[in-house]
A and B are shown apart, each in its own frame.
Chain A
């Protein structure tokens, strides 16, 4: 019933646009919509390149199925090697030379910060950026920039709330990556703990991505006597940390950030038996989680991978992420109808109403408005039982 009403609503929204005159900005025509993107396809951060590649595959599928309102999506993606100066260069190329209608899923907090001002000065949408910093939800000052995923700080809040509810005597140890992403999480947790943060957090240790292991940090954290471990790490270090904590006999309650929840590429390397009891949040379906083996959406995704992205790794959550965010964009473009201007793209992106991507967890819907530039604002806690993640509690809204 609900789905029907959503469909009806979007039909209503779309109808006037179809009737109206076609309006184009640079990068669009009757046959094409040009979309720009930067991703690290080279360098130490190239793991993220999977996102750009899966988005490209998704658009290939859309185009093969006839495009959007008869227009083919022309996805122009450049390598920035995760270096902000190169992002600036590449985005200028996209905007000024390739004349894209907007950039989409540019990846990395520093990279997006580097182009933040430029995009807003140019009034070209910087849509659904691939980073979880809070600053992307600032429509007042930066009306042309919008995030997509739940932001790191609010995820930190969720864990803080859970800790306060379930373990008031917690002694918390934190391991975090020494960059904006790690620090955002830590800030979120501290904010969530409020005045108690000082007394509850007993140890913090950071690591650099260039370090081979985080063993030393885990030993440090263990010796603090903590009984709660907040693990803010990317997949490789997450797996190392989980394994090391288990091996040295440290058995705290473990909170793992959502970046590294993949069963296939984090928990399996760490050891499934060593991962029992981990708590995290989720918002999209992990394709390597047995729970979704027969899920129609995941099955559909698998077929997509086979047909359009055979080089991609089906154990890689980034491929699911890319698929989901691309699906969100397609909805925005559908809503735009024939009015393909910078302004309308931004307006439609800011008027997603209860939009549901079937690869997101059940109950998580996307809502945006002109004051709310945070598309996904709900997550659900889950615990690992040795075989698969088990959701518990309700979908938690992270809206402030």
Chain B
């Protein structure tokens, strides 16, 4: 029984990692209707920026805020400079640009910082909280931060005119222009915010998996699966999806089919869920009228 509980807790901890990146994916999807494959690498890159700032002697929280700003600007700049020129290209051409961004960021980071593992500090205490040994204080704290981001995101999309305008611009750019929304800037803003959320994810993930250029490589698939299983247009769903994937994978690995196949089987289950509920567990059902 203990073993089961411990696996669940460990699963929640890794699920938190997936959830945080899944949120960034939801953000960019809400704003642009694209799934940005370079999201993880952008998060990784901005985490290195944070590392550099701290290496230069800046304390944690100022670094955190500064990194968010840098990430936001980076996101806006990437949209304006790299994505804008392929605005009208076929979707898959845009996907290729995402892939290009992924490899460029990965490679450039390795070049600048080398591939050697770097420890990344946590803002949370070292000693176990409430006697829980199976989730470190950082893991608990990171989940807390992810939930905070989630609430902020939810409020932003649900209740602010800007959030509404961003969703509108992504869904139907033509109509959005016709109500006076500056669609171009909405997309750039979406990129900026997604990059910011990614930076938070990176800074929360790095203390757990350590900082290296391939830090996010494995996480992307999980985050993508989490976002879809929860519903790509629903930030709550994405976070729940993250936890679900984390726990499911651990339980499968520990008790059902062993570690070698746990990823494959977890993915089969997720795809199975999507077959039954094509909009994810918590996503909006899309209606098309002919």
A 48-86 binary contact with B (CB < 8 Å = 1; else 0): 011000000000000000000000000000000000000
Contacts of B7 in A (CB 8 A): 216, 219-220
Contacting pair B217 A210 (CB below 8 A): yes
Contacts of A44 in B (CB 8 A): 214, 217
Contacts of B209 in A (CB 8 A): 212-213, 236, 240
- Contacts A206-B259, A269-B117, A316-B116 hold; do A211 and B218 have CB atoms under 8 A apart? yes
Contact of B263 among A205, A208, A240, A268 (CB under 8 A): A208
Contacting pair A212 B17 (CB below 8 A): yes
Contacting pair B253 A312 (CB below 8 A): no
- Contacts A178-B260, A236-B212, A247-B136 hold; do A42 and B115 have CB atoms under 8 A apart? no
Question: In the complex, which of the residues B11, B116, B213 has the most CB atoms of chain A within 10 Å of its own CB atom?
Answer: B116
- Contacts A208-B263, A210-B217 hold; do A312 and B254 have CB atoms under 8 A apart? no
Contacting pair B219 A215 (CB below 8 A): no
Contacts of B205 in A (CB 8 A): 212
Contacts of A219 in B (CB 8 A): 3, 6-7, 10, 134, 254
Contacting pair B208 A239 (CB below 8 A): no
A 196-225 binary contact with B (CB < 8 Å = 1; else 0): 000000000111111111011101100100
User: For the complex, is A397 an interface residue (Cβ under 8 Å from B)?
Assistant: no
A 313-329 binary contact with B (CB < 8 Å = 1; else 0): 10110000000000000
Contact of A235 among B103, B117, B208 (CB under 8 A): B117
User: For the complex, is A266 an interface residue (Cβ under 8 Å from B)?
Assistant: yes
Q: How far is the CA of A248 from the CA of B2 in the complex (A)?
A: 13
- Contacts A47-B115, A211-B218, A239-B117 hold; do A216 and B208 have CB atoms under 8 A apart? no
Contacting pair B115 A49 (CB below 8 A): yes
| 26 A-B residue pairs with CB within 8 Å | A42-B103, A44-B217, A46-B213, A46-B214, A47-B214, A50-B115, A209-B218, A212-B17, A212-B208, A212-B219, A213-B13, A213-B17, A213-B208, A215-B10, A215-B13, A216-B7, A219-B3, A219-B6, A219-B7, A220-B253, A223-B3, A240-B209, A247-B133, A264-B116, A268-B119, A269-B118
9 A-B pairs with least C-beta separation: A47-B115, A210-B218, A269-B119, A223-B3, A313-B114, A216-B250, A316-B116, A215-B10, A313-B116
